[in-house]
Structure 1
Amino acid sequence: FSLASKSYEILALEIFVPWAIATFGDPPRGRLHWLPAGLIGGLTILLYWAFMIFGALGILALAVLTWRASPDRGRYVRHLVLTVIVALVVASWYLVPYLGWGFLHGSSQVEYQYQGGGIQDSPLLFLTPTPLGVLQLIGVIGMVWYRGRVWWGKPMLLLTAGIYAYWLLGLAAFVLVGRHLLVQDTPRLTSLVLASAGVLTIAHTAPRLVRRLTAGTVPAGLPTLSLCLLMIWIAVTAWQAWMPGGPASVTGLYQPAVSATPNDATAAFMTPLPDGRYSPAAPASLRGAWFPTKPIKKDVDSVLGKGAKPVTLSSSEHLFAFVRWPGYIAVTRSAAGIDTNWPARYAALRKLSLVTDPDAFTDASEHTAFGSVDVFILQATDAAHWSWKPFDSDDPDITFTPAQFSPQAFTVFTDLPGNYVLAVRQPQTTS
């Protein structure tokens, strides 16, 4: 799962297996105390809660079996309850508004509008002819073989079975009601659990196997050679996924090749700085368009003073990477938080755009259903139309006109690069 922009998911993924087994299982060195277990669980919810949902059935099965086998069932139940309470408290600043909004207004994952890549893919990842696939196949064999022989066998098998059960439920929901329950993301967790089982199987089996085959002696350098080969494969795989282009042969040497297809790595070089400068490492052919953050901030400061934090309607979210101004609405609908109510905000903007009288527009833009809009950053499609365009929505662009922005209420800047125009509400017009 080498997607650089999803680093928070990678962190949540890496912690899942050891946390689940150490918290709900019965490892020989002792169970993880409820306080750190709850802290880790709460932070995992904040990072990426979906992995906990995918593994919930397996965790439940593991908890039930551990409880049945526990010599002190009451103490184990107390451990579970305290773990859950701590996790909920840690994640409460996110869960309370999220669930509160859902109960009061209803909610639906924007992701349900799309099928998502991976729903139709085979879940049998361990049959892929790659080093990772081989490791996962070893994990499948190890879980089945060692399920009653080693302490980790049954917990790993339960976690794996739980994820596959969730995948089947998601497919059934998709067929019956069109809700796929984000099952396209389950292979990321399945892959991790199978690979972890493969590592545990090798760690448990390899020493015994080597002793049998070599009569107690291991060829010198064999472990080091095996590790080096594995690291070379990992390095090349990561290079191809994260570097701006894959390895290319140049006069017999492997050097990075500049790819014409942007990815997360090229974006770091092709994106200009707030003042319009580009990284000297980026070729001109890969340079992205400049969003004039620094000139915009300078113009806004000239009207509102330094340190102002106006509510801003911006045609690009590049702005918010560099200034701490609250945005009125996300440009990308599918990336907007559920409690921002993107559809209603869009409707409020469309209603505002229809107010043609300058004085009425000044008042309406200060008192929308979601509060005031103090700064407008729009794109001039022509001399008479300034637009705000949603990025990934079928909803039409919202268009304003220069005449709506009264010179007594707004200071307008039209000399920005990239056909951007800026309208800043003057302080005296704010009630």
Structure 2
Amino acid sequence: MNFKVPRGTQDILPSETWKWQQAEKVIREVCDVYRYKEIRTPIFEQTELFQRLVGDTTDVVQKEMYTFMDKGNRSLTLRPENTAAVVRSFVENKMFGYPDQPVKMYYNGPMFRYERQQAGRYRQFVQFGAEVIGSADPAIDAEVIALALDVYKRVGLTKLKLVINSLGDTECRAAHRKALIAHFSPHIEEFCSDCKNRLEKNPLRILDCKIDSGNPLIASAPSLADYLNEESVNYFEEVKSYLDDAGIAYEVDANLVRGLDYYNHTAFEIMSTSEGFGAITTLCGAGRYNGLAEEIGGPAAPGIGFAMSIERLLLAMEAEGKSFESEPALDVYIVTLGESTRRPGFKLLGELREAGIRSDMDYMDRKMKAQMKSADRLNARIVVLIGEDELTEGVAQLKNMADGTQVKVPMVELIEKIKANLT
């Protein structure tokens, strides 16, 4: 039987992992500058957590979750997103009692959704996200947006568009919901079965339906902007003002809604405007989620966060012709000639690595010519040759691969000589 990688997943091979490591390095550096601390939550959680916080009317909960029963007959789900888990950890570990508020966190790890595979979208995907819990200050909304943009800018992306909207508070969401039901009810039979189910539970999701996106009733639906109360309008104006102060360009899109139930007030997306990136241009989605902590028994702790796909970040870099610096070359490759030189060569390898010098040697019992070819493929900067004659003399041949020069060096001086040549 031939085994293959499961559908919707991928192997990230050694030749590609360098890109991922560099992206993760940028993320860590940006988050450190902003003073966001990493949180690591379990890959699976109680299913009810996602049902309650993500929303049982969302596609994520209804169609996309990987749910299973464990041996204790408990329903568990591989995390489809991480905001719910971070909020759960915030409440469970009483982070609301920390002296420094709000609590600023970031995460980076695999998520799981059962959906159709597309370019840059997998059933197991890697997501970086940031969450700030404990503050309802509009300035924090602007800071979170700035952090997300800074990650993209640090990897060299320039063709970006920030789109923002206000989803309002509970009061205006309820008024808008009532208007949507009245608008769609007379013609709901024209819509897909999902939208029919959404009508009473969450009519806002009809506006985000991919199947019925061309229906003229969606274009003529009541706008949430018309139902924003004074508090919501003022909040959104302050967010925009902070973005203006930071010199961050944005577009307001009254039709922008997020696919998860917990969002309110500020919602935003960052998109790629690069030609050839693809039909799905969204790189990052985010929003404010006041009320989540209370939903699972915690105190009032307003929050805001975003999530971005690392796969799509790398695709956007490729579309713009951006790349990370090449992986560092091998410092030293040891070539041994003759059986008696193998153990001394291996001992030297350990000493080089202990000194922090990237080193390797042949483990295939190849001839000198083949070993030199291997050193060349690995872009080794220096080759150390140890033959039986050199072993007898207590020396080694040190070859600089850049200019081809070769000198004989006493073994006791070899490491210092190599260090000098590498600087």
Instruction: Please give the TM-score of this superposition, normalised by the length of structure 1.
Output: 0.22
Q: Which structure: greater helix fraction?
A: 1
Normalising by structure 2, report the TM-score: 0.23
Q: Whose relative contact order is higher, 1 or 2, with alpha carbons under 8 Å and at least 6 apart?
A: 2
Comparing both structures, which one devotes a greater share of its residues to strand? 2
